[in-house]
Amino acid sequence: MAEPTAPGMLHGDSPGLRLARRSLVLVALCIVLLPFADLSVVAHDPWAELSRMATGLALPHWRELSSPLQAIGLTVSVALWGTLLGVLLGFPLALVFFRSRLVRTACAFVRAIHELFWALLFLQVFGFSAVTALAALAVPYAGIFAKVYAEILEQTPRDAADSLPPGVGRLSRFIYAELPLAWERLAAYTRYRFECSLRASVLLGFVGLPTLGFHLESAFREGHYHQAGALLWLFYLLIGTIGFWGHRRLLPLLTLGSLFLLGPWPHVDSGLLWRFVSHDLWPAPLLDGDWAGLMAWLGNIPDLGPAIGNTLLLGLMGTVGALIIALLLWPLASRHFGNPATRLGGRALLVGLRSTPELMLAFIFLLLLGPSMLPAWLALALHNGALIAFLAARHADNIEPGMPGLPAGGRYAYELLPRIYPGLLALVFYRAEVIIRETALLGMLGVATLGFHIDSSFQYLMFDQAFFLLLVTAGLNIAVDALARRYRPREVVMDDPCSR
Amino acid sequence: MSDAELLSLAGEDVGHGSQVVLPRLSLTLRTGERIALLGQSGAGKSTLLATLRRRLDTDAAWCPQSHGLVPQLAVYHNVYMGRLERHSALANLWNLIRPDRRAWTEIETLCGELGLAGLLRRPVARLSGGQRQRVAIARALYQQRRLFLGDEPVASVDPHQALRLLALIDARHDTSVVALHQRELALSHFDRVWGLRDGRLVLDATTDTLTLDDLDRLYPDADAASSASADETAHG
């Protein structure tokens, strides 16, 4: 006689169980594929290196910095004008976004390529100039703004527009009954994107533009950790005080003033530019119409398969890692756990990890652990996990537990997690697209993803190959985004555009 | 002339798109009539008003139940929106930056009559519910049409104010169709009642032939409540 048993834990058709199964499949897939990833620690003494870095961060040498103000000025100017140009390009596109498949496709394409890859591309034409820096931010941001603005405008309540008298023109309707209703959300998103652009502007230093990242990278690479520590503090200070110097009333003044800090302006040879766009970017056999030659050209691209495989694998590992880190870290910043001191510490940790760009984190881990997938994985999981944890904690803070006085474990597992998990998982799926884009980028640090081959193709001036790999990267990114969109939890409306 | 038909429906299916809410509806609206539209929520009042609005097009001023105001804009701009189609887009844009002088004077007078004096510059988001209702009415009056269509335009004001607002609406329109839930007001202030119940026009009569009891039959919940109390009496 069979004993009565409780039903299996994962059987059933409730939305919560569906999400649990979905997450477990993702984790299991990651574990099965993990042996294919190169996770060796190559450095001989990572702990000594780590302690030297920590000392550098604890005892920054401010005096050794050469012209930090100039670097900060350029960083802010590029971020401001990059965002502004992105808005100017993206806003008109947002108005036709849902009506034009061409616009949607073009936007998806420019979004799918990371700012730094755009910088590498523009670098070939405009050199180390302000045009390269601005275009590298403005082009992908135009695509992002077009999409997010269009979504925000689409969600504006229709009541006001519906109650207008018949015969009101399109423009009048827009400026009276649509734009004012969406204004606050548009402004909030633009502000969030400006913060992103500040981080991206710092990163432009990694390809040689003289922003803050340039000094950071060289200080780290040369082992001047006290100097690197000072620069890192400057960076956090800049991000942390954005509410003061980036105040709404100061912005117009800042925008005008920063125009004078931008530079140098390049001398553009239009003949060379045309040659680059019409000739250098395309495989020679394609331009000649030689199909057999094109096949041979494709065959000559080194390690295309493994590079795509590594990119996808690292993307999966990064997504799962972010999920696990977020689950572990969110209670640190939530009012339901710990005391004021631990919460302050937890919040500082999360904000710190969230504000540090993945590339910089990966770079630091790379110096510690040597070149493998491990530093990249850690960086992706920590940065994105902390970002999601922070939003999840904010979400949890709005929840009033039904049974006060439960022990912390019970509160976590029974009261809070079931309520915030759908939102948290939705954020993880949103971030999957960002993670795969960053994954490609981390190749620039030597991880064998697509970015590694893009970077080296540019270095060997094989522009046709670099451009082809960029297209592959963009395609991969769009595919992953579509996949994540398909499996994203739909039961929740945690629609904060500022999480993308 | 006063009997001229403005609009007539003869057994038409009325609804949104392919979804029929009021099947085979017949009614006639004549110039000069003041009609109260009664019925439980969900009976089809808003659907009928939307249909009238569509048919009457530019003849009708429209005051929706949701007010349709833009909370971020000032009272002045919200009222101005009633005549948005009579100016060029450029003039409308400029008016957001610098109010048009003539429109300002007109709207100032209008708002004075509605008890909104001195609030022209205030964003609608910072008004009380009753004030918003009056802004919505001001916008409808500013449209200057011959006919007024209102979906619960006096729902959130006190009875005295409701009378005053209805008088203002009457003074500026020769015909009106107003959805209400105050039955007494329907009898005292309107010429005719259209009563909807379960998607049918069950009552179409002049108010001088009607009593409050006739109107009560439009509300099935009131039936239930009265029969429940009747049961109680029977058992008690």
Going from N- to C-terminal start, the domains of chain A cover: 16-57+301-499, 66-258
B70, A171: Cβ pair inside 8 Å?
no
pLDDT of the residue at B117? 92
A127: left (phi over 0), alpha (psi -120 to 50) or beta: left
pLDDT of residue A98: 93
Return the beta strands (E) in B187-230 as ranges: 192-197, 200-206
Q: Which ranges of B4-153 does DSSP label H, i.e. alpha helix?
A: 45-56, 75-80, 89-97, 101-113, 129-142
Please choose, from the candidates B20, B36, B70, B24, the residue with its C-alpha nearest in 3D space to the C-alpha of residue B195: B36
ipTM > 0.90? no
Min Cα distance A84 → chain B (Å) is: 22
For domain A66-258, give its CATH number from 1.10.3720.10, 3.30.2290.10, 3.60.70.12, 3.10.580.10: 1.10.3720.10
pLDDT digits (tens, 9 = 90+) for A352-380: 998 888 888 999 898 888 888 999 999 99
pLDDT tens string A472-496:
999 999 999 888 888 887 766 555 5
Report how far residue A389's alpha carbon sits from residue A394's, in angstroms, rounded to the nearest whole number: 9
The CATH number covering residue B64 comes to 3.40.50.300
Instruction: Report the alpha-carbon distance of residue A161 to residue A18 in Å, rounded.
Output: 39
The number of helix segments (H) and strand segments (E) in chain A equals: 24, 0
H or E stretch covering A487: helix A463-487
Residue tagged 């429940």 (tokens):
B228
Query: Predicted confidence band at A1 (pLDDT cuts at 50, 70, 90)?
Result: very low
Return the ∠ at Cα B182 (arms to B177 and B186), rounded to 5°: 45
Quote the mean pLDDT of chain B. 88
- Which residue among B58, B69, B143 places its CB closest to the CB of A160? B69
Q: A498: distance to nearest CA of chain B, Å?
A: 22
| Nearest of A383, A362, A361 to residue A371 by alpha carbon | A362
Q: What is the DSSP letter of A444?
A: G
**Model pLDDT for residues A135-193, shown as the tens digit of each residue:** 999 999 999 999 999 999 998 888 999 999 988 999 999 999 999 999 999 999 999 89
Chain A residues with CB inside 8 Å of B87's CB? 172
Residues 146-175 (A) with a CB less than 8 A from some CB of B: 159-160, 162-169, 171-173, 175
What would the two tokens of residue B212 be?
């409050």
Please report the residues numbered 49 through 78 in chain B whose beta carbons come closer than 8 angstroms to any beta carbon of chain A: 57-58, 61-62, 64, 66-73, 77
pTM of whole model > 0.80?
Answer: yes
Please name which of A480, A478, A481, A472 lies closest in space to residue A454, comparing C-alpha atoms.
Answer: A472
pLDDT at position B236 is 37
How far is A311 from A439, CA to CA, in rounded Å? 6
Average pLDDT for chain A: 89
Q: Which residues are CB-neighbours of A297 under 8 A, at least 6 positions away?
A: A283, A284, A285, A286, A464
User: How far does Cα B85 stand from its chain's mean position?
Assistant: 21
CA distance A474 to B205: 68
Superfamily for the A16-57+301-499 domain: MetI-like (1.10.3720.10)
Instruction: Work out the pLDDT band at B1, boundaries 50, 70, 90.
Output: very low
Please give the tally of structural domains in chain B.
1
Q: Is B99 on the interface with A (CB under 8 A)?
A: no
Q: Which of residues 177-196 of A touch B (CB under 8 A)?
A: 177, 180-181, 183-184
Domain span holding position B124: 5-235
- Name, in order, each residue with C-beta under 8 angstroms of B2's C-beta and a sequence gap of 6 or more: B30, B31, B32
pLDDT digits (tens, 9 = 90+) for B63-74: 999 889 999 999
- How far is it, in rounded angstroms, from Cα B104 to Cα B94? 13
Q: What is the pLDDT averaged over residues B7-35?
A: 88
Helix, strand, coil proportions of chain A in percent (round to 5)? 75, 0, 25
DSSP A264: P
**Structure tokens that stand for B101 in this block:** 């002088």
Helices (H), A356-372: 358-369
Looking only at the bridges linking them, the beta strands covering B34-39 and B175-179 are: parallel
CB-CB contact of A295 with A356 (8 Å): no
Q: What is the DSSP string of A129-155?
A: SHHHHHHHHHHHHHHHHHHHHHHHHHT
CB contact under 8 A, B72 and A168: no
Q: Over range A280-299, report the average pLDDT.
A: 87
Coil vs helix vs strand at B44? coil
Q: How far is B212 from chain A (nearest CA, A)?
A: 32
